[in-house]
Each structure stands twice: as C-alpha cells, then as structure tokens.
Amino acid sequence: MDLFREVCARLGQADRLSQSTFFYYLDELERTGIIEKTALGWQLNRRGLLRRDRLNYLSELVKDQKLIDSGYADIFGNLGNPFLEAIISREFFSDLIQEAICRFYLQVGFCFEATHAEADQLGEIFELDKKEKLTTLQLTQAFVRSIGYAIWIGYLLSIERARFEVNSLRELLERFAKNEEGVKKLSTFFCYGLQQIFHQDPEVLAFAKVLRRIGFWREFIKSILSLDWVEQVYSHIKNYPSKRGMTKISKLLRLFIEWLMKNELTIIIPISAESLISTEVRCILFEFDGWFTALKEGWLDHRSWIFREGVELLEKLIMQLKRLDPQELKATPLEVLKRVHPELWETLMEPIDPQEGWILEDLFEYHPRGREIRFYEELLEEIRLRSERKLDSQTAGNIDSPHVF
C-alpha cells in the first residue's frame, strides 16, 4: 500500500490509478521476474531483466530465420546457400542433436526411481497396502529386474536363440556384455521384448523405436549393467514370466516410458557474430577478474614478466592516456583512436601477462572501467605492492608463499 500511495503521488491528480489495476500490474511484473520483493522492499530484478532481454533477442532472432529440417529438431537459420544448408541439416547437426537427445533422456531416466519411489501407481503395481511405501532401492531393484525380463523375452523370441542356447539371463550377459557390439545386441533383444510387452500400444512402441535409433537403450542398459548387484538379480531370470509377473513388468516399464515421454526440453543456441562477441566479452572479463584475484593473493609471483615488462607497459599506457583530451578518451571509438594515435594502439596490443589470453585492448574496450585512467593506476599500484611484498619475503630468506614455482 505504501508503494501504491507513492505511485499515485508521483502520477498526480491528472492520471488516476485504481488500486486493483495497480496490484494487477505489480503481480504481473513479479510473475515475469522483472521486479522482486527483498528485505529492502520492491526492487528491479536484474536477472529477470536479463532473462527478458534474452528472450526478446531470441524471439527476434528466430522470427526472420528459415526452418531447416535436421531430422530430430527444428533448426532456424538464414543461410541463403543451398549447399551449406544441406550440410548443416544432413551432416553437421544430425549427430550432435541425436547425442544431445540421448544424453537428455539418460539424465531423465536416472531420476525415475528417486522421483517415483512414493508414487501411488507403485502401490497398485506391487499390491501394497495404502500405508506401505517402496524405498528407492526396492524400486530400483524391481525396475532393473523388469528391464532384465524385457531383454530375456526379446532373446527368447529372437532367431539368436536357435544359434546358441543359454540357461539364464546372467549367461546371456556373460556372452554379450563384454563390448559395445554385444551391448548393442542386448539392446536389440530389449526392443524385441518391448514389442511383445506393448504390442497393443503403438504410441509407446513408436517412442521406444526413436529412443533405439538415437542409441538411448544401448547407453541406458550399459549403465544398468555397471551396477554391482545386477548379475545376482539376473541369475534368477531363467523362464518366461508368469501372467501376473508380466502385468507388473508391463506396468512398471510403461510408467518409466511415460515418465520419459512427459519430459520436454527446448534449447536455443544463437550462433551469430553478435552472440559470439557477447560471449567473448564475458569470457575476457571473467578471465581478467580471476587473474587480478590471483595476482593479489600471490599466485602469480613467479611470472616475472608482470613485474618488469607489465609495469613498464602500464606506465606507458597511463602516460599516453593522460595526453588525450578527457572527452576524446571517454567517447572516441577505438577504431578512430587507432588511426589518430597509432602509438596508443601499439601499446594496447601488448599483454600485461603473456600467459593470459587477453591484452590491454580487451580491457580498454570491454571492461566497465576500461577508459578510466584511475583503473590502470590502481592495477599498477597493486602490481607494485605485490612486487614489494615478494621482495621483502625473499630478503627475509623465506619466500612468501607456496605459489612460487
């Protein structure tokens, strides 16, 4: 209410605002993350503003792009080159997208037991009393057993059974779980088993088929086989499951596949000069901040260049910047300064520390204080202070830190 009264006071009598309208927009701004309530009251949520700005940018980026068919995902681009477009859609993105989808569903699959350990559907599947709950371990073991039965059913229905005979699922694993090709064969048996279990459910089978094509079942079964106790569980699987057992297996596997199906993820990666430059700027500033912290803490004392050539370079730069007109320093584009003051340009192209990826030009162009003379003076003071401490410790016969190599 204090905020409402303040807003009304600022609007004045000419622009009246109803209380209901005010609180509607207040709620909308909070919902979209533009403002947030803190201990200091209502404030702009900088993260929310950044998110909104990014969404607006991406919407604008996608709006004018052409949809390129890549098989498994929508790719928007404006390439204007049929040969490049063909390469992008058929050769470049196809493998990357399949791998990303596979890894996504693997992570989703790994969360299945922890998420469903107390689900009501499990009580029905395992015929539990209402007060009983499965532990995560119990569910994991039951789920792994169901996966094993699907593999075993697939093997029993395959032509491979006529080529060799095994007496249990454990023996089947001993034959095939030795290498990638063998695990791929086990995933094929598993998919055969799914076809038998869900022969009346085309939607589940269609989704399972896509997961097989991108390699999900192979990787998922590989992760299950890495469990220490899996061989002991699978050594008891020797026969075709009973009707009651098949019902439990099908319900549990259906719950798992439906869990995979309901999870959705959209990733937009803007690949453009603008987005890459923006990323480069953030990386440079992050690297410099880390370097500056390491310098102050003494982790760079062994880099003698900083304390000799680096100091001379900063002294030279500060002197050159002081010769510039203050307005020229503040507002003149870097490209213009390069032409008008070539000696400044030569200095900016040098590194304070050659072991780092950034140079003085990066600081001048991208750092928030890059055009402040005081910024470079503070940097120079910090290097000199660190040099004095290093010299004092060496004089005392005890090098200051374990940071010196």
Residue-wise pLDDT tens for the chain (405 aa)?
A: 888 888 888 887 777 888 888 888 888 888 777 788 777 777 877 666 766 777 777 777 777 777 776 667 777 777 777 777 777 776 667 778 888 889 999 999 988 887 776 666 666 666 666 666 667 777 888 889 999 999 999 999 888 887 888 888 999 998 888 899 999 999 999 999 999 999 989 999 999 999 999 999 999 999 999 888 888 888 889 999 988 889 889 989 999 999 999 988 877 777 777 667 766 777 888 889 999 999 998 899 999 999 999 999 999 999 999 999 999 998 888 889 888 999 999 999 999 999 998 999 999 988 989 999 999 999 999 999 998 887 776 666 554 444 433
φ/ψ region of 268 (left if φ > 0, alpha if ψ in -120 to 50, else beta) reads beta
CA torsion sign for 165, 168, 173, 174 is negative
Q: Tell me, what DSSP letter sits at residue 386?
A: H
Rounded-to-integer distance, Cα 323 and Cα 202, Å: 77
| Residue matched to tokens 């604008």 | 60
Three-class SS state of 236: coil
Rounded-to-integer distance, Cα 318 and Cα 376, Å: 7
Three-class SS state of 159: coil
| Residue matched to tokens 């119990």 | 138
Three-class SS state of 41: strand
Answer yes or no: are the C-beta atoms of 120 and 113 closer than 8 Å: no
Q: What is the pTM of this model?
A: 0.59
